[in-house]
Amino acid sequence: MDKPLAERRCERLILPEPGKKPGAEAREGWLEMQIVVDLTRCQGYAQCVFLAPEVFELHGEEALLYNPAVPDDQLDRVRQAAAACPVQAILLGEEVSAGAR
Amino acid sequence: MPDDLREGRIVIVGASLAGLRAAETLREEGFTGSLTVIGDEPHPPYDRPPLSKQVLLGRMAADAAALPMRRDPDAEWRLGVRATGLDPVGKQVLLADGESVTYDRLLIATGTRARPWPNADEAALDGVFTLRTRDDAGRLTERLAAGPRRVLVIGGGFTGSEIASACRERGIEVTLAERGPGPLVGALGGTLSMLAAGMQRAHGVDLRCGVTVTALRGNGRFTGADLSDGSHIDADVCVVAMGAVRNTEWLAEAGLAAGPRGVACDAGCRAFNMYGIVTDDVFVAGDAARFPHPLFEYQMLSLEHWGNAVTQAEVAAHNMVSPEPARRPHLAVPVFWSSQFGLNIKSVGVPTFSDQVVIAQGSLDERRLVAVYGYRGRITAAVTVNMAKWLEYYQGLIETAAPFPPGPGAADGRPLVAAFPIPSNVPDPKGLFHGPTVALTGYLPDRRLTVVRPAD
């Protein structure tokens, strides 16, 4: 069995300065992970809302709102949500980096 | 052009959703040549739909919506530089910085921009915004967070309505002015426009329909607007949500069939030149494209839909690296969504391609329904309100040209709520502040006329 979620995260987490939200500097050395939900496909099953409530929420009965920039400590939950989505509408990946070639 | 289509130089102009998905697909399909993506915004590809929703609500930062890659397209990204021209003979894209990029095959994915307020002096007033880019959204959100007394939204299309919804959710007073008979009428017709108007008023929007805004007032800073009915709105913020303009001006000298309605292309995304001859090295995808669709009598469609940008980019990229027999048509049925005032509105097909509409499930009172649109006895579109799970079923009916109205029990065994279809009341888009987002660029099917406009 894997180590608990919190413990695994700590291995790689670079803590942000106190009072500061984890921003770009805190994620240095990390892959910047982003999500996009294909809302054309989304049917509001809301599995993602149960699995990663800090990232996904229902707005009204079935409109999905989500935070495209995945906080580091939510990455595993978002992976589970992407896997569990009945219509496979969640894409998780890196963004194009600014200096990309 | 090299014999092997998987080699050579491909240039994509447009670094948003369609440009990114096309670049990825090219690599997925085995393209090994050089790939350049040109974008006029300085940002890597990002997602626009959250800008009028989560961002305006203050739940995420405007710069947090970068699009994830499906795979690294190994492209050269030239961001922050606008394409200013195309030389189809020398096969070069000309850039605003004076440089040029040579291509063997080109994909045009330049999309649209917000239609500006027509009076430039009034548009320049502090407090007057449009909403298309993440920079727009950042500035507008900042202003909303400062607690304006009232926001005036000009235009009752999807963007304008979503902005009004976000303002109300933040407790900000809103006036929405729409020249047409109601919000969303351009895309959804009269029946659902009534529902949208009711929702807006129930949420405290000061909705003014059938009026135009005649002047924006202010001395350096926006203070209010005059309406055509003689009234005046005092407001600190004005959002001009009058639809989109296609970014095709840079193609004016390119000899392509490009104009205000987009770049005309065939079902395989190959652009037509100005003589109507199909090119084989210039492709187009996303909001900038105008393409024929067999389900809608081969009328040329211009779509401003997220899903279309993805699927059309995939088809275009496939065809750019595939020999003729392996090419595919772009036949996807248009789908879009909007969330506003607690409603999740989704549409499949082309609601403006209709003469009648019937509420097949649910009801206006429940604010939960499926409206089915028909044209001459066949189903051409369906719109769900908080019933998104049904969309796929109706998509099947549209794809198979099922008879309209759908038979009782066609869906869930319940009788049709409205036994008799009523006119769908799709207005001429000329009389609206907002665009329809699905533009039939030939003619409205219940009006036997074609409007020919010279390119401006």
The pLDDT of residue B428? 74
Confidence of residue A28 (pLDDT cuts 50, 70, 90): very low
- Asked if the domains B9-113+245-326 and B117-242 are classified in one and the same CATH topology, the answer is yes
CATH topology of domain A31-101: Alpha-Beta Plaits (3.30.70)
Tens of pLDDT, residue by residue over B257-283, are 999 999 999 999 999 999 999 999 999
Q: What is the CA radius of gyration of chain A?
A: 15
CA B200 to CA B183: how far, in whole Å?
9
Q: Is 90 exceeded by the pLDDT of residue A36? A: yes
> May I ask the CATH architecture of the domain B117-242?
3-Layer(bba) Sandwich (3.50)
- Which chain A residues are closer than 8 Å to B70 by Cβ? 91, 93
Phi and psi angles of residue A66, each rounded to the nearest 5 degrees, phi first: -150, 165
Mean pLDDT of B398-419: 70
If you average pLDDT over every residue of chain B, what do you get?
Answer: 92
Beta carbons of B386 and A91 less than 8 Å apart: no
Cα within 13 Å of Cα(A60), Cβ side: 21
**What is the 3 state secondary structure string of chain B?**
CCCCCCCCEEEEECCCHHHHHHHHHHHHCCCCCEEEEEECCCCCCECCHHHHCCCCCCCCCHHHCECECCCCCCCEEEECCCEEEEECCCCEEEECCCCEEECCEEEECCCEEECCCCCHHHHCCECEECCCCHHHHHHHHHHHHCCCCEEEEECCCHHHHHHHHHHHHCCCEEEEEECCCCCCHHHHHHHHHHHHHHHHHHCCCEEEECCCEEEEEECCEEEEEEECCCCEEECCEEEECCCEEECCHHHCCCCECEECCEEEECCCCEEEECCCCEEEEEEECHHHEEEEEHHHCCEEEEECCHHHHHHHHHHHHHHHCCCHHHCCCCCCCCEEEEEECCEEEEEEECCCCCCEEEEEEEECCCCEEEEEEEECCEEEEEEEECCHHHHHHHHHHHHCCCECCCCCCCCCCCCCCCCCCEECCCCCHHHCCCCCCEEECCCCCCCCCCCCCCCC
Mean pLDDT of A76-85: 97
Please tell me which residue, B427 or A33, carries the higher pLDDT value.
Answer: A33
The pLDDT of residue B431? 75
Q: Is 80 exceeded by the pLDDT of residue A29? A: no
The residue of chain B nearest to residue A24, with distances taken between CA atoms, is B64
Q: Which of B91-95, B113-117, B297-301 has the lowest mean pLDDT?
A: B297-301
Beta carbons of A96 and B339 less than 8 Å apart: no
The pLDDT of residue B3? 60
- Which chain A residues are closer than 8 Å to B54 by Cβ? 65-67
Which helix or strand (DSSP H or E) is residue A84 part of? helix A75-84
Please tell me which residue, B219 or B416, carries the higher pLDDT value.
Answer: B219
Distances (CA, A) of B425 to B3, B149, B420: 52, 35, 15
B51 touches chain A (CB under 8 A): no
Q: Is 50 exceeded by the pLDDT of residue A24? A: no
- Please name the residues in contact with B285: beta carbons below 8 A apart, sequence gap of 6 or more: B18, B22, B107, B108, B109, B269, B309, B312, B313, B315, B316, B317
The residue of chain A nearest to residue B59, with distances taken between CA atoms, is A67
Q: Is 50 exceeded by the pLDDT of residue A7? A: no
Length of chain B measured in residues: 456
Q: Is 50 exceeded by the pLDDT of residue A25? A: no
If you average pLDDT over every residue of chain A, what do you get?
Answer: 77
One-letter identity of residue B264:
A
The residue of chain B nearest to residue A70, with distances taken between CA atoms, is B64
The interface predicted TM-score of the complex, written ipTM, equals 0.90
Q: Do the Cβ atoms of B39 and B19 come closer than 8 Å?
A: yes
Residue carrying structure tokens 């009234």 = B231
Mean pLDDT of B108-130: 98
What are the beta bridge partners of residue B46? Answer: B66
- Which chain A residues are closer than 8 Å to B67 by Cβ? 34, 36, 95-96
Would you list the domain boundaries of chain B? 9-113+245-326, 117-242, 335-440
Residue carrying structure tokens 């919000």 = B183
CA A64 to CA A82: how far, in whole Å?
14
Mean pLDDT of B51-58: 96
- Please name the residues in contact with A1: beta carbons below 8 A apart, sequence gap of 6 or more: none
Tokens of B370: 């499926």
Q: Is 60 exceeded by the pLDDT of residue B112? A: yes
Which helix or strand (DSSP H or E) is residue A93 part of? strand A90-94
Q: Percent of chain A having pLDDT more than 90?
A: 62
Q: Percent of chain B having pLDDT more than 90?
A: 84
Q: Is 90 exceeded by the pLDDT of residue B451? A: no
Q: What is the pTM of this model?
A: 0.89
Q: Do the Cβ atoms of B70 and A93 come closer than 8 Å?
A: yes
The pLDDT of residue B432? 75
Q: Which of B203-217, B379-393, B419-433 has the lowest mean pLDDT?
A: B419-433
Q: Is 90 exceeded by the pLDDT of residue B373? A: yes
One-letter identity of residue A2:
D
The pLDDT of residue B322? 96
Task: Tell which B residues from 360 to 419 touch A, by Cβ distance under 8 Å.
Answer: 368, 386, 388-389, 391-392
The CATH code for residues B9-113+245-326 is 3.50.50.60
- Which chain A residues are closer than 8 Å to B58 by Cβ? none
Mean pLDDT of B306-312: 97
Beta carbons of A69 and B60 less than 8 Å apart: yes
Q: What is the CA radius of gyration of chain B?
A: 22
CA B184 to CA B427: how far, in whole Å?
11
Q: Is 70 exceeded by the pLDDT of residue B85? A: yes
B409-420: burial string, b at 16+ Cβ within 10 Å, e else? ebbeeeebbbee
Residue carrying structure tokens 């090219």 = B26
Distance spanning both ends of chain A, measured CA to CA: 40
Q: Percent of chain B having pLDDT more than 70?
A: 92
Report helix angle B306-320 to B17-28, nearest 10.
Answer: 40
- Strands B105-108 and B278-284, by their bridges, are parallel
Q: Which of B308, B346, B384, B437 to mutate to test binding with chain A, by most A CBs within 10 Å of its CB?
A: B346
Beta carbons of A67 and B310 less than 8 Å apart: no
Mean pLDDT of B308-323: 97
Please tell me which residue, B36 or B406, carries the higher pLDDT value.
Answer: B36
Beta carbons of A95 and B44 less than 8 Å apart: yes
Q: Of the candidates B292, B295, B249, which has an alpha carbon nearest to the alpha carbon of residue B272?
A: B292
Q: Which of B72, B310, B339 to mutate to test binding with chain A, by most A CBs within 10 Å of its CB?
A: B339
Mean pLDDT of B159-183: 97
The pLDDT of residue B76? 97
Confidence of residue B422 (pLDDT cuts 50, 70, 90): confident
> May I ask the CATH architecture of the domain B335-440?
2-Layer Sandwich (3.30)
Q: Do the Cβ atoms of B26 and B73 come closer than 8 Å?
A: yes
Q: Is 70 exceeded by the pLDDT of residue A17? A: no
- Which chain B residues are closer than 8 Å to A46 by Cβ? none
Residue carrying structure tokens 């030239």 = B78
Tens of pLDDT, residue by residue over B433-445, are 776 666 666 555 5
Q: Which of B43-57, B63-77, B134-148, B356-370 has the lowest mean pLDDT?
A: B356-370
CA B99 to CA B103: how far, in whole Å?
13
CA B318 to CA B309: how far, in whole Å?
14
Phi and psi angles of residue B339, each rounded to the nearest 5 degrees, phi first: -120, 130
Mean pLDDT of B224-239: 98
